[in-house]
Structure 1
């Protein structure tokens, strides 16, 4: 084969290969483009179908809602009447407390019926228990001296005339010496007087001697009485049964030793307050009365005195109302006299004094302990077959023990008179559990 023929054959083969390649690439590009267009068209068709289906469903839903609204069972916003009934039922259930009879006894819950009661309109004033100053003595020695012995202890109950302490005093010794000397002079003057009187009556001596003896006797009698009165004035013994310098302190009446300011060997003066004795079987309750309430507090009025530190109360009468107002407090002092046989009303104890001004009969009342506050509502727990229900009420007047019910309850309703706070606690627990 010639060289020219070989080159021609090779050229034909290369031309054939190039043509085949061109055809292949042209066909592949066209198929790919067609596939993409088909996919895009298919996606658009699906979107249109979905939109059409959604519009149909929406129209159908509007039709149903419109139908419900026309029947009166829906409000056009998806809320039916049954929702209101469910809400009321939930509220009723939230206010209910289930409790058994046994649990009530264990927890101290007691019931009563609502009924009429007499409410007292009263004025309550603060006060303080004080010593009855008419039965309180500040004991002073009335002589200078040194304490020999003390026989009474602080807080001891003593009897009238009981020995409290002894004091050695030189002034008492001098007064006793003077008294005894006066008694001796009196005895001598009496003898002289009787002798001179007899001699004068027998015409033996002159009348002048008799008159002079009589004068001396009378002066001796006055001196002896004066010396004796000095001892009596300080409370010293005048019969000479004790030592000359010994002075005895004795209780002036029955009472309790509430203060003691002396000890053995201590020097005291005549004006030293060594002891305070008070009869605590009768005390005063002093109260501060504002000026605007003075017309409500009258002498002889019966009042109730209540302790603030413990459960105790006693009736008393107003024995004094001051006519002057304090410069700083602008209140007047009133006094209530209290009998204190058990000595439970101790001086310094703070009290409240209730003064009743009027009384009113109310048809429907409950005990004040029954009133509770639940979620900013004033409620009373009313008895139900399963337990209790927190019933909202409107309250009126109260005297501390009973409270008037204006609205919410009728007479004869059984309610929790005691232990209502326990029911309130149980209600709070059930509400919390329901919320979770």
Structure 2
């Protein structure tokens, strides 16, 4: 019999508590300054605006493929030294690799031959120009008009030969200036040193390395890849129906150990992956400290496109009491009034209120649970 009475009492007790709580909803809660401090109440101001529903997602950090640098040597040769390894952080201009550049050696020989040929062509041009000048002075005397024309033709041929040789020299000069010496490679044009050096064209991280000491390399070979991680892609894969609720420009929040990372969705894939059936969303996030490393996975949220407008308060400000959504409005530093509100939407961080609050009012955010407990205890006492 005692067991039966105990069960009945416990089952009925919440009903009496809920009823008492309803009766005390109009009563203010009064706390002294010490109790306010102990409760850790945080006060927020009611503002009007629009809150968007959020979608929980898994976010993966990926390198921005538009900022990947694939390094190729300008010439063919044999690797002498590899000065980095995968994962090494490099600065712009840092030496990455040295190799014996056979192509540079051949280009120097060709350059010497071209310069010699240009010098010879210039000498022939000078002689032909002098011959024409003399013929013009002596034409009709010791030089015939036909001889003058022959010498003029020879000068024209010499001029054309100089232009050809100069073009050859300029082409080689361009190779030395733009190929063997560039933002990613250094190689001396003069001297007997046939060593070329690959250098980092950007600040970044060595993502991959496909070369070793004593290996043969050529211009067609991708010897290493650098990733400029000053910004990265944040990639989320969602179902097709979820993707329909997301549009470019939507806010994406990613929770990392170093803090919250906010980005904006740049692209929503036009089709789902044939392997997973998921739609890929991509946003670009700044990464000035390099704390976001490709391959990292974090929890995140996406803002959906259909927002709700109303009075905005922290989601934790809303408490459930006797089936009602209740917010505690601050009347002064020690008095708080419970108000029944109509919650139009709650995305876990913010709540939109349609009825019960006015813009500019002050409500209890963090610590509202303590006030709820006080109110419920008052209801139990009244019971």
TM-score by length of 2: 0.64
Gaps of 5+ in 2: 1-11, 136-142
Of 76, 82, 91, 1:158 maps to: 91
The aligned counterpart of 2:51 is: 120
8 Å CA contact retained: 1:138, 1:275? yes
- In 2, the alpha carbon distance for the partners of 1:305 and 1:340 equals 15
Q: Name the counterpart of 2:229.
A: 280
Q: CA deviation at 1:240?
A: 2.2
Q: Which residue of 2 aligns with 1:312?
A: 260
Taking the aligned partners of 1:167 and 1:185, their CA distance within structure 2 comes to 30
Q: Counterpart of 1:223?
A: 168
Cα contact 1:288–1:331 (8 A) shared by 2: yes
SS class of match (1:362): strand
The offset of 1:265, in angstroms, is 3.1
- CA 266–123 in structure 1, closer or farther in 2 if over 3 Å, else same: farther
Q: Say if 1:144 and 1:169, in contact at 8 Å, map to a contact too.
A: yes
Q: 1:194 aligns with which of 126, 129, 135?
A: 126
Does 1:417 pair with 2:365?
yes
Query: Counterparts of 1:215-364 in structure 2 under 5 Å?
Result: 215-232=160-177, 234-236=179-181, 240-241=189-190, 243-252=192-201, 254-259=202-207, 261=209, 265-270=213-218, 271-288=220-237, 290-292=239-241, 301-310=248-257, 311-316=259-264, 318=266, 320-349=267-296, 350=298, 352=300, 354-355=302-303, 357-362=305-310
Asked if structure 2 preserves the Cα contact closer than 8 Å seen for 1:397 and 1:403, the reply is: yes
Larger Rg computed on CA atoms? 1
Other-structure match for 2:103: 171
Unaligned runs of 5+ in 1: 1-82
Q: How far off its partner does 1:296 sit? A: 5.6
> 1 CA distance for matches of 2:65 and 2:350?
38
Q: Secondary structure at the match of 2:172?
A: helix
Contact 1:147 1:268 in 2 (8 A): yes
Matched position secondary structure for 2:52? strand
Aligned length: 338
CA apart distance, 1:137:
0.7
**Does the 8 Å CA contact 1:129/1:347 hold for their aligned counterparts?**
yes
Instruction: Give the SS at the match of 1:308.
Output: strand
Secondary structure of the 1:307 match is strand
> CA, structure 1 residues 276+243, in 2 after alignment: closer, same or farther (shift >3 Å)?
farther
Distance 1:164 1:155 in 2: 10
2:272 & 2:78 partners in 1: Cα distance?
A: 45
Q: Which has the higher contact order (CA 8 A, sep 6+)?
A: 2
Which deviates more, 387-396 or 210-219?
387-396
Partner-residue secondary structure (3-state), 1:137? strand
Cα distance, 1:169 vs structure 2? 2.2
Q: Could you tell me how far 1:144 is from its partner in structure 2?
A: 3.4
- Counterpart in the other structure of 1:20: none
Residue aligning to 2:140: none
**Aligned residue in 1 for 2:5:** none
* TM-score normalised by the chain length of structure 1: 0.58
Residue pair 1:228, 1:238 contacting (<8 A) in 2 also: no
Q: Distance in 2 between the 1:264 and 1:88 partners?
A: 76
1:337-367 alpha-carbon deviations (Å, 9 max, x no partner): 344444444434446463453443335x652
- Asked whether the equivalents of residues 282 and 340 of structure 1 are also in contact (C-alpha less than 8 Å), the reply is yes
